[in-house]
Structure 1
């Protein structure tokens, strides 16, 4: 499949779906600071993937992928915290944590691929 827009990227689709799932799970959370931070970090991942994709240079794309990778790590930490303090049940949280781990690996792979392209141009 040809990639024409960021919406065509599997990594964007999966991270966007995870952000939607996080929002739905935590939107009614009474701990506003935890809720807001979870939603913010979850949405940061697909947002940075799309922003990097739309940039003109490979170097900028890599920079935004690095930010997305940091955000997915931040999200995993916050999900683990929410589970630990019993804001969310483990059976609801663990699938999101697992998906975040897989997305992190995908982002790492894409960064490696983009760096390889950049090095070939140098």
Structure 2
């Protein structure tokens, strides 16, 4: 079976793993509105990478990578809030914040490549 090009991207692999870890961290969260928002932000990161790469144009790819990067910023914010209001384990959340920030840097580099800068 042929794989999609985005499946070879480390940023997509790591973003997918991050999303799984977010779902696990919030598995027992009873604040369903918050849980929905944070999981949607996390899920948006690898999903937009995949969608942009499937568009098969550098301009479209960059546009969707920007969406992914925006979702990464949203996720970091939500994780800090989750720590502050005691929804999640601080150590686990801080590790996911660090991973999200690294992904954001990777996305910025990929955006530069797609835009030819």
TM-score interval w.r.t. the shorter chain? over 0.9
Q: How far is the alpha carbon of 1:27 from its aligned partner? A: 2.1
Structure 1 length-normalised TM: 0.90
In structure 1, stretches of 5+ residues that fail to align are: none
4+ residue stretches of structure 1 with deviation over 6 A?
A: none
In structure 2, stretches of 5+ residues that fail to align are: none
Which residue does the alignment assign to 2:98? 98
Which residue does the alignment assign to 1:42? 42
Q: How far is the alpha carbon of 1:4 from its aligned partner? A: 5.7
Which residue does the alignment assign to 1:26? 26
Which residue does the alignment assign to 1:58? 58
How far apart, CA to CA, are the structure 2 residues paired with 1:96 and 1:79? 8
Structure 2 length-normalised TM: 0.94
Structure showing greater relative contact order (alpha-carbon pairs closer than 8 Å, 6 or more residues apart)? 2
User: How many residues align structurally?
Assistant: 115
Is it true that 1:67 corresponds to 2:87 in the alignment? no
Q: Which has the larger radius of gyration?
A: 1
Q: How far is the alpha carbon of 1:92 from its aligned partner? A: 1.2
